[in-house]
Structure 1
């Protein structure tokens, strides 16, 4: 079997890429680091106009009924740009979960706004009460004691937390667990929440692939531009080896992410294992590429004034998000033994 993305899937990727190249330069990421999120929110509005926010909603809900396989390339592009926004929480996980598990009242209030891109959703799974972008979002979907809750952020207490990536705006969330915010109880919440966790891990893996690509591109360009002894440092064999090894790590991880997206899109029985493999290798690749890119740049790569550090710190943060490598290795072990 020959696997390839369709022309429509690649066209959607190109549309997202063009918007991010135009509206999410490093200055927007840097502004988010400084607590100024206007630029990132403007990108959200522009992408909402393309229909990206409604990709995973059903046609009845005003969306396009697309799958994880359709979404994986656009998410990769958001990683490449290091766009500081809860795109995975909202589009890959939040909207499908709200549509499947929300009460009629919850869906009427929140689903059309989410599909249109007027609100941002964040997630808090069991044991994960530290949430990225909590203070700048509108709705929290949370798992507590095996049940799902849909809580307006106005009713959530958010205590700011420090993060290695300051553009992610971490906060520890808490709320009153009550019947008004509880989502439907006449469904298999455990199965839906398990699927939601897989979608979150896959979306994060896709963003990590994008981050790896960008860091490698930065390192290659620097190796071409930086000269020592009258010639670019990229002509040195040791530098070439670092860059080649980084490319190998990235290219090995990428098909695992695409395979996991296909497994989720087709409800393949091996989907949980495929997702865990994708998250492990995408995280490892991003961390390896970050290390090699920093070595190529030298000390300047870690300075606050240079853009590379923002991509490296995003990679470190996302490698741990929705399960680090140790978590997913243990998960694979439970699935296959």
Structure 2
């Protein structure tokens, strides 16, 4: 079995990485903090032109028909630049949820998926594990739970209350709405499966961004420590400082395989997806949080200041840590899976459906 990404995936990744690095700068992020929405319609249009909003939309609805494994490297790069726009949640969470609705919702899919692919409509997703809904203020449609039911609620039918986040780029809202037969798109039985799958996809989306954030924090910290000097030498040349960043780099490398494995399991519909996603979320969060801790330390007193870009990425890592399940939740899922009676463990069962 070939576990490497193919040439097309890598070329697309390099192209998108270059675009994001050039366009989504810390300066642009800071500028968006001062706007009412905190979002850039121009940037969203550019992302749509690149085909990113269409990646997981089926070809029958005007999309590219790709899967989670095709997008996971791009989601990581979105984390690397701390992209504020809800691209990752759109591609990995909202689109698959809509596409997974039953055949009786064909007209609903035909109404929304082509518009999402073109970048002309945005969808926010609520979940039982996330009491606050991200980007509800710019959404044309909200997919919300009522028990295990799935409701598709137009933006004009909800009331929003902003809840401040530790990350200024995160726009989280308490959503007040009234369930009705007109908004129901999946009943309790069907909805339970849909919300379970949405939890996995949301956690995967957060995990991918966490890995990118960890990488960016290391890069920022290394650059800073080679610019700052003590005793006539860059502080980055001191062994103790090197060890701080090396420890994070090790965590990053060990988190890559669980993340890509989780994307594979979801893309292939494997029964191990839940365990793999929780493993990935734990591993990437550990790397990102250690990166934030050590990054502050090697920055010295400057690490606590607003002027240094470190806090942009550090605060995003803190915010995503509890998104789509806390560490305790995901540790329990891994434990329950490994200790379950008849659990298939060992290398020979790594890719059993």
TM range (shorter): over 0.9
Partner residue in 1 for 2:147: 145
Cα shift readout 1:117-148 (whole Å, capped 9, x = no counterpart): 11221111125331122212222111221110
* Other-structure match for 1:252: 254
Quick one: which of 263, 266, 272 aligns to 1:264?
266
1:23-76 deviation line (CA, Å, top 9, x unaligned)? 111112112333355763322211111111111111101111111111100100
- The alignment partner of 1:322 has SS state of coil
The worse-fitting range, judged by mean Cα deviation, of 75-84 and 267-276 is: 267-276
Distance 2:152 2:280 in 1: 29
Q: Partner of 2:343 in structure 1?
A: none
Aligned to 1:126: 128
Once the two structures are TM-superposed, the CA of residue 2 in structure 1 deviates from its matched residue by: 4.4
Alignment correspondent of 2:162: 160
Partner of 1:314: 316
Instruction: List per-residue Cα deviations over 1:174-217 (Å, max 9, x = no partner).
Output: 21100111114498322222112111111110011001110100
Quote the residue 1:231 is aligned against.
233
1:159 alignment partner, SS class? strand
Q: Does the CA contact (< 8 Å) of 1:56 and 1:67 recur in 2?
A: yes
| C-alpha contact (below 8 Å) 1:125/1:144 kept by paired residues | no
Render the CA deviation track for 1:102-131: whole Å, top value 9, x for unaligned: 724432332211111112211111253311
1:43 aligns with 2:29: no
Equivalent position SS for 1:188: helix
> Match for residue 67 of structure 2?
67
Q: Alpha-carbon deviations, 1:206-254, whole Å to 9, x = none?
A: 0110011101000011111111111100111110110111101111112
2:190 maps to which residue? Answer: 188
**Cα drift, residue 301 of structure 1:** 1.6
What is the DSSP-based 3-state SS (H/G/I as helix, E as strand, rest coil) of the residue aligned with 2:169?
Answer: helix
Question: Structure 2 CA distance, aligned partners of 1:260 and 1:34?
Answer: 36
In the alignment of these two chains, the number of paired residues is: 337
Give the alignment partner of residue 179 of structure 1, picking from 173, 178, 181.
181
Distance verdict in 2 for CA 1:80–1:172, change over 3 Å? same
Once structures 1 and 2 are overlaid, which stretch shifts more, 309-318 or 119-128?
119-128
Q: Is the 1:32–1:166 contact (alpha carbons within 8 Å) kept by the matching residues of 2?
A: no
The match for 2:33 is 33
Residues of 2 paired with 1:38 and 1:161: CA distance?
14
Corresponding residue of 1:7 = 7
Compared CA separation, residues 327 and 39, structure 1 to 2 (3 A): closer
Equivalents in 2 of 1:60, 1:2: separation in Å?
Answer: 29
Is the contact made by 1:88 and 1:200 (CA closer than 8 Å) also made in structure 2? no
Partner residue of 1:80? 80
Unpaired stretches in structure 1, ≥5 consecutive residues? none
Cα distance in 1 for partners of 2:128, 2:299 equals: 40
Kept in 2, the 8 Å contact 1:106–1:150? The answer is no
| Counterpart Cα distance in 1 of 2:302 and 2:329 | 33
Question: Contact between 1:35 and 1:167, CA under 8 Å: does it hold in 2?
Answer: no
